[in-house]
Amino acid sequence: MRYETERTRRRGHADTATDTLARGLGIFSIAFGIAEIAAPRSLARALGMKGQEGLIAGYGVREIVTGIGILASKDPTPWIWGRVAGDGLDLATLATALEGRNPKKGNVGIAMAAVAGVTALDFYCAQTLSRESPHPLPPMQDYSDRTGYPRGIGQSHGAAQDFEVPRDFRTPEAMRPYSQPQAPQRPMPSM
Amino acid sequence: MKALVWHGTTDIRCDSVPDPQIEHPRDAIIKVTSCAICGSDLHLYNHFMPGMKSGDIMGHETMGEVVEVGAESKGKLKVGDRVVIPFTIICGECDQCKRGNFSVCERTNRNGHIAAKAFGHTTAGLFGYTHLTGGYPGGQAEYLRVPFADATHIKVPNSLSDEQLLFLSDIFPTGWQAAVQCDIEPTDTVAIWGAGPVGQMAIRSAILLGAKQVIVIDRVPERLDMAKAGGAITINLDEESVIERLNELTNGKGPEKCIDAVGMEAHATATIDSMYDRVKQATMMETDRPHVLREMAYVCRPAGTLSVPGVYGGLLDKIPFGAIMNKGLTIRTGQTHVNRWTDDLLRRIEEGQIDPSFVITHTVPLDQGPDMYKIFRDKQDGCIKVVLKP
C-alpha cells in the first residue's frame, strides 16, 4: 500500500484505487503466466513462433513470480516496475516474430497491441506508486481559518487605500493612460 | 550564548559562541525574545548565495529587549526598550537613507568593496546574510549586537505580542513593498508567484491596498489554502496551466501587476526551463533559476508592472527581454527599505487591519532550529513559517 504525499490535498490517505489496480495486475500476471506454462505450444502456433515453446513457458514462470510478488508484498511498487521491464521483453520478443515470412504476422500485431496496452497500464500504475509515500504522512494541516484579518476580510479589503504611494514608487504618469482601463486623455498619435 | 551557526551546505548547528559586546558607540545589544527562519535563509542553507564562512551566525528576523546601549545611541534607545530589528542595517544619514532607500544604505556594509565588485555599488549591511553584505552576526541567537542601533531599530509597544510584531523585521514590509511597487489601482488584478511567507504577506498587502482580484500560484496545498483564506484565487501549478488560467481569470488580457515571491530557487523539477536552469547551475554556468521571471514577463498585461521581492543572487539566463521591452513592462525590485514602511504597518496592526501572526505554523526552542531548517526547506508537516524562542 502506498500513501498520498504533499502533492495532493489527500496527503496521508491510502491510495486504495492504485493499490486495487496493482493487485488486479498481479492476478492478471498469474493467470497469464499459467496460460503460458499450460499451453506454450498453442501460443507458439498462433504466433508463428514454433520452436520457442520453452521460451514462452519461461516467460510464464516470470509472470507468475511477478504476480505473486505483487500480491504478497506490502509494497508492490518494485514488482510493478518488474512487470514494465517484462512487458518490454515481451514486445521485443514479439517483434522478432514480425521478421521473415511468418504467416501469423497479423496475430503477432494484435498480440503486440495488447501487450502495449497492458504496458501503458503497468507504467501508469508504477509511476503513480513511485510518486507516493511508502509510509503514511501526517494529514494535511488545515489553514482555512488563517485569514490574517482580525476584523474580517470585508473590513480589511481596501483598508489601506488611505496609503499614499510614494512618488518614486508610482507608475510613471506617462504610462497611466495605458496601464489603467480609462481612455487616454489625448487622441492617440498615429504611427 | 547559544546561536544557530552555519558550518557548510545544509549544515547548521546550535553552538555555544561568545556573547556579543559593544564594539562601537552607536551599537546596542539586545536580548532576543523571538526570531524566525526566513525563506531567504534557505538560500544560505542550500549555499546558493556566495560569501558564507563556517562559523557565521544565521538570522535576520529578530526582536527583543535592549540590554546595553553604546554612548552614541543613548538618545534614541535605552535599556529595557522593546524593539524589532530590521534586517537591513541603516545609518540614517547617507544620501540613500535620507531618500528612504534604506536597503542601499551607503555606509553600513563594512565589506562594501566586495559588494561593489559584484554589483557595481555597495548595498546595505544585512544581519546574518553573507560577507557580501558585511558579514554581521545574525539574530538566531540569545543575544544580538545591533550596529548603528540608533537608526536600526523599530520601537514597539508592549500591548502587542511578539508574534504580531516580529515580522515587521522583514516579511511583512517585504510583502508590503512588493505590493506598493505595483502601485495598485482598484481595477487591478495582482498575480503573485509563491505562497510562502512573503507571498502570504503580499496577498494581504494587495487586499489591504484594494486590488480587485489577487491570484496566487504555488504547488503546496497547505500554502494555497492559507492564500485562499487571505482572499486569493489559487492556481496549483501541478494541476493547471498557469498561463491559461491567468488569462482565463483576466478575460485573456493578463494580470496588470505580477509579483515574484519565489526568487532564485524556483522548484527545480516543476517545469522544463527550471530543469534546464538546474543543470546549468550544477555546471556553474548560471547562478539562479528564474522561471518565475520568464513566466511573469510572458503573461503580464502590456504596460503592466513586474514587482520582484524574491531574492536573486547573480547571473540569469534566457530572460525574455523582448517581451519586457515590446510590451512596455515596468520592473521594480530591490531589498526591502524596512524602516520606510514600519510606522505605517505598525499602526495597521494596532488598528486590527491585519495580524501577521497568521503565518506562523511552527514555534520551537532555538536548539531545534537546525531540524526546522530541513523541515521548512522540504515543506514538510505543513511548515510555512518557523518562530524560534531562545
CA distance B382 to chain A (A): 6
- Asked if B25 and B72 touch (Cβ cutoff 8 Å), the reply is yes
Instruction: Convert the pLDDT of each residue in B2-13 to its tens digit.
Output: 999 999 999 999
User: Helix, strand or coil for residue B227?
Assistant: helix
CA distance B183 to chain A (A): 6
Pairing of strands B362-365, B386-389: parallel
Chain B nearest-CA residue for A12 = B381
Please give the DSSP secondary-structure letter assigned to residue B254: -
Task: Write the CA distances from B20 to A103, B6, B16, B72, B147, integer angstroms.
Answer: 89, 17, 12, 18, 11
**If you average pLDDT over residues B199-226, what whole number do you get?**
96
Show residues of chain B in contact with A178, CB under 8 Å.
302-303, 328
Q: Which of A144, A156, A167, A170 to mutate to test the interface with B (most CBs of B within 10 A)?
A: A156
**If you average pLDDT over residues A47-54, what whole number do you get?**
90
Chain A nearest-CA residue for B226 = A143
**Confidence (pLDDT) at A9:** 64
pLDDT band at B26; cut points 50, 70, 90:
very high
Q: How many CB atoms lie within 10 A of CB B192?
A: 33
Please give the DSSP secondary-structure letter assigned to residue B314: S
Q: Is residue A189 part of a domain?
A: no
Between B186, B219, B229, which is nearest A144 by CB? B229
Provide the number of structural domains found in chain A: 1
Show residues of chain A in contact with B208, CB under 8 Å.
156-160
Q: Is residue A105 part of a domain?
A: yes
Burial of B217 (0-12, 13-18, 19+ CB in 10 A): buried
Contact partners, residue B196, CB within 8 Å, separation at least 6: B39, B218, B223, B261, B262, B384
Show residues of chain B in contact with A147, CB under 8 Å.
229-231, 358
**Confidence (pLDDT) at B311:** 87
Between chains, do B183 and A181 touch, taking CB under 8 Å as contact? no
- Among residues of chain B, what percentage have pLDDT more than 90? 85
Q: Which residues pair with B217 in a beta bridge?
A: B193, B235
Between chains, do A144 and B200 touch, taking CB under 8 Å as contact? no
User: Helix, strand or coil for residue B190?
Assistant: strand
Between chains, do A179 and B256 touch, taking CB under 8 Å as contact? yes
**If you average pLDDT over residues B16-39, what whole number do you get?**
97
Task: Write the CA distances from B369 to B48, B57, B141, B372, integer angstroms.
Answer: 20, 12, 10, 5
pLDDT band at A140; cut points 50, 70, 90:
confident
**Confidence (pLDDT) at B357:** 98
pLDDT band at B369; cut points 50, 70, 90:
very high
Distance, C-alpha B123 to centroid of its chain? 16
Q: State the virtual CA torsion across B170, B171, B172, B178 in degrees, nearest 10.
A: 100
Instruction: Convert the pLDDT of each residue in B143-200 to its tens digit.
Output: 999 999 999 999 999 999 999 999 999 999 999 999 999 999 999 999 999 999 999 9
Between A138, A156, A178, which is nearest B354 by CB? A156
Q: Whole-number mean pLDDT of chain A?
A: 87
Calpha distance B375→B12 (Å, rounded): 13
Show residues of chain B in contact with A166, CB under 8 Å.
100, 180, 340
pLDDT band at A8; cut points 50, 70, 90:
low
* Phi, psi for A17 (deg, rounded to 5): -65, -50
pLDDT band at A186; cut points 50, 70, 90:
low
Report all structural domains of chain B as residue ranges with CATH numbers, in order of start.
2-170+336-389 (3.90.180.10), 174-333 (3.40.50.720)
Phi-psi category of residue A158: left, alpha or beta, with phi > 0 → left and psi -120 to 50 → alpha: left
Calpha distance B266→B271 (Å, rounded): 9
Instruction: Convert the pLDDT of each residue in A61-94 to its tens digit.
Output: 999 999 999 999 988 999 999 999 999 999 999 9
Between chains, do A148 and B180 touch, taking CB under 8 Å as contact? no
Between chains, do A156 and B207 touch, taking CB under 8 Å as contact? yes
Is residue B277's pLDDT more than 80? yes
Chain B nearest-CA residue for A158 = B210
Residue carrying C-alpha cell 496493482? A22
Between B220, B226, B381, which is nearest A138 by CB? B381
Show residues of chain A in contact with B220, CB under 8 Å.
6
Task: Write the CA distances from B283 to B206, B274, B277, B279, B303, integer angstroms.
Answer: 39, 14, 10, 6, 36
Distance, C-alpha B87 to centroid of its chain? 9
CB pairs under 8 A between A and B: 123
Which carries the bigger pLDDT value, residue B318 or residue B287? B318
Calpha distance A16→A13 (Å, rounded): 9
Between A9, A150, A161, which is nearest B352 by CB? A150
Contact partners, residue A125, CB within 8 Å, separation at least 6: A18, A21, A22, A25, A80
**Confidence (pLDDT) at A74:** 86
Q: Is residue A41 part of a domain?
A: yes
Is residue A41's pLDDT more than 90? yes
**If you average pLDDT over residues B187-215, what whole number do you get?**
97
Is residue B257's pLDDT more than 60? yes
Task: Write the CA distances from A165 to A168, B215, B255, integer angstroms.
Answer: 8, 22, 20
Q: Is residue A163 part of a domain?
A: no
**Confidence (pLDDT) at B376:** 92
**Confidence (pLDDT) at B125:** 97
Point out the least confidently predicted range of A24-33, A40-49, A166-175, B296-305. Answer: A166-175
CA distance B165 to chain A (A): 13
- Among residues of chain B, what percentage have pLDDT more than 70? 99
Calpha distance A128→A35 (Å, rounded): 29
Distance, C-alpha A131 to centroid of its chain? 9
Between chains, do B209 and A158 touch, taking CB under 8 Å as contact? yes
Between chains, do B225 and A142 touch, taking CB under 8 Å as contact? yes
User: Helix, strand or coil for residue B92?
Assistant: coil
Show residues of chain A in contact with B381, CB under 8 Å.
138, 141
pLDDT band at A178; cut points 50, 70, 90:
low
Between A143, A145, A178, which is nearest B222 by CB? A143
Task: Provide the residue type at B69 as one letter.
Answer: V
Between chains, do B228 and A151 touch, taking CB under 8 Å as contact? no
Strand stretches in A70-112, DSSP E: none
Is residue A132's pLDDT more than 90? no
Is residue B233's pLDDT more than 80? yes
Calpha distance A65→A28 (Å, rounded): 12
Q: Is residue A40 part of a domain?
A: yes
Between chains, do B384 and A157 touch, taking CB under 8 Å as contact? no
Task: Provide the residue type at A75 as one letter.
Answer: D
Calpha distance A146→B11 (Å, rounded): 32
pLDDT band at B128; cut points 50, 70, 90:
very high
User: Helix, strand or coil for residue B6?
Assistant: strand
Question: Which residue segment(s) compose the domain that A112 sits in?
Answer: 16-130
Between chains, do A178 and B303 touch, taking CB under 8 Å as contact? yes
Chain A nearest-CA residue for B238 = A7
Pairing of strands B386-389, B28-37: antiparallel
- Asked if B243 and B323 touch (Cβ cutoff 8 Å), the reply is no
Residue carrying C-alpha cell 515453446? A53
Between chains, do A163 and B344 touch, taking CB under 8 Å as contact? yes
Residue carrying C-alpha cell 510584531? B165
Show residues of chain A in contact with B185, CB under 8 Å.
180
Q: Is residue A116 part of a domain?
A: yes
**Confidence (pLDDT) at A3:** 77
Show residues of chain B in contact with A157, CB under 8 Å.
207-208, 210, 231
Is residue A136's pLDDT more than 90? no
pLDDT band at A191; cut points 50, 70, 90:
low
Q: State the virtual CA torsion across B90, B96, B101, B107 in degrees, nearest 10.
A: -30
**Confidence (pLDDT) at A175:** 72
**Confidence (pLDDT) at B48:** 81
Buried/exposed code over A21-46 (b: 16+ C-beta within 10 A; e: otherwise): bbeebbebbbebbeebbebbeebbee
Which carries the bigger pLDDT value, residue A115 or residue A133? A115
**Confidence (pLDDT) at B239:** 86
Q: Is residue A87 part of a domain?
A: yes
Instruction: Convert the pLDDT of each residue in B343-360 to its tens digit.
Output: 999 999 999 999 999 999
Task: Write the CA distances from B69 to B24, B27, B82, B142, B144, integer angstroms.
Answer: 10, 6, 13, 17, 12
Q: Is residue A185 part of a domain?
A: no
pLDDT band at B319; cut points 50, 70, 90:
very high
Instruction: Convert the pLDDT of each residue in A154-163 to its tens digit.
Output: 999 999 999 9
